[in-house]
């Protein structure tokens, strides 16, 4: 190979190496360059703090004022049933009669023991009385015999009292064979028939009866956490039942749970008179709850919220950079939406939020 050919070959190799380096690696200043987005001033909006609404509309449901599952207190068989589903009952009314033959035997045995103990106590008392009377004659009765007679009398009286208490306990147990209504109301479930064996149950077992007080109902509404401290308790709430559209009712909030449940909301109740029994437990209603006049919220344009399957956020401009702030939506107006998050009134957000703008992008 001539000197000329060696020179051409060397130049070609150097050229290929230079080309490979330039195509596979960029300068450091280009790799570190951040995306820069230019936003016109009219495409930015301020976060506003003002009152969005004067009330909120939530769903509620009716519950009975009182409700109880009725179980027997003893193991027994159902003898008679005096009520059925839909029966209106009064407090103290007999609902059912049970029978337990072994309980009658227990009562007879307790009565016999009480009678025997009473006779023993009476005999001991008479004996003590005679000895005491005889002891008036000096030397007729020894002091020891008199003391023993008094001790025996007191012991027999104590036994008699014990047997009386035992007999009363058996009578109380026997009284459990009659099932009475604990309050005025309506039987909404009857789960037994005559001849059935019943026993004291747990809350998960099926009761004999379910009794509800429906002359007065509770309208239960769950207030979201973000509005708990904004509810005006002095003003009445208005509500419309789905079953009676067009008929608006008003009442004041009667009580609140004063704690947040598993759904991060607070339960409040409105007592509703239902003497005509037109309303039924389980009915749903739309409840309009007034808010305090001074309650203010952070508002952003509706289009500023970016929504995805993983999160919802707004793009805030801070120190010339984009900051993606997660928010939780509240109530919406035609042109703005109430949001909750790490925002301050007066901050600038992009009116048209989109997922092309990334965290820390330069914005000017």
Q: How far is C-alpha 194 from the chain's CA centre?
A: 37
pLDDT at 51: 67
Any idea which fold 31-51+296-363 has?
A: 2.40.420
pLDDT at 313: 92
| Assigned superfamily of 56-64+211-290 | Efflux pump adaptor protein, beta barrel domain (2.40.30.170)
Where in the chain are the domains?
31-51+296-363, 56-64+211-290, 101-175
Any idea which fold 101-175 has?
A: Helix Hairpins (1.10.287)
pLDDT at 52: 59
Which residues of the chain fall below pLDDT 70? 1-42, 51-53, 203, 293-295
Distance of alpha carbon 121 from alpha carbon 128, whole angstroms: 11
pLDDT at 243: 82
pLDDT at 42: 67
Q: How far is C-alpha 17 from the chain's CA centre?
A: 74
Residue 209: exposed, middle, or buried by beta-carbon count in 10 A (0-12, 13-18, 19+)? Answer: buried
Cβ-proximal residues to 199 (8 Å cutoff; 6+ apart), any chain = 72, 74, 75, 76
The answer to whether 270 touches 235, Cβ cutoff 8 Å, is no
């Amino acid at each position: 190979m001539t000197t000329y050919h060696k020179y051409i070959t060397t130049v070609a190799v150097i050229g290929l190496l230079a080309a490979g380096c330039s195509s596979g690696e960029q300068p450091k200043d280009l790799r570190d360059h951040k995306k820069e987005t230019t936003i016109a001033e009219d495409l930015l909006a301020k976060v506003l703090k003002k009152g969005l609404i004067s009330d909120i509309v939530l769903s509620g449901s009716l519950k009975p004022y009182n409700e109880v599952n009725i179980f027997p207190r003893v193991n027994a068989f159902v003898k008679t049933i005096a009520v059925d589903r839909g029966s209106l009952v009064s407090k103290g009314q007999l609902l059912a009669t049970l029978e337990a033959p072994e309980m009658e035997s227990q009562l007879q045995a307790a009565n016999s023991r009480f009678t025997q103990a009473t006779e023993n106590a009476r005999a001991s008392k008479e004996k003590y009385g005679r000895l005491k009377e005889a002891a008036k004659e000096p030397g007729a009765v020894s002091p020891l015999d008199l003391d023993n007679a008094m001790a025996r009398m007191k012991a027999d009286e104590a036994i008699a009292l014990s047997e009386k208490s035992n007999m009363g306990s058996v009578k109380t147990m026997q009284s459990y064979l009659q099932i009475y209504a604990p309050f005025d109301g309506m039987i909404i479930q009857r789960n037994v028939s005559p001849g059935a064996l019943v026993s004291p149950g747990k809350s998960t077992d099926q009761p004999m009866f379910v009794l509800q007080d429906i002359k007065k109902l509770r309208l239960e509404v769950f207030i979201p956490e973000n509005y708990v401290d904004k509810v005006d308790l002095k003003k009445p709430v208005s509500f419309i039942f789905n079953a009676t559209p067009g008929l608006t009712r008003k009442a004041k909030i009667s009580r609140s749970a004063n704690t947040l449940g598993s759904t991060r909301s607070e339960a409040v109740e409105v007592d509703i008179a239902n003497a005509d029994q037109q309303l039924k437990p389980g009915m749903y209603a739309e409840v309009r709850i007034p808010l305090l006049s001074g309650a203010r919220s952070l508002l952003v344009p509706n289009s500023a919220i970016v929504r995805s399957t993983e999160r919802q956020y707004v793009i805030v401009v801070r120190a010339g950079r984009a900051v993606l702030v997660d928010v939780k939506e509240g109530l919406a107006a035609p042109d703005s939406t109430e949001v909750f998050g790490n925002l301050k009134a007066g901050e600038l957000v992009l009116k048209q939020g989109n997922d092309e703008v990334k965290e820390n992008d330069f914005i000017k």
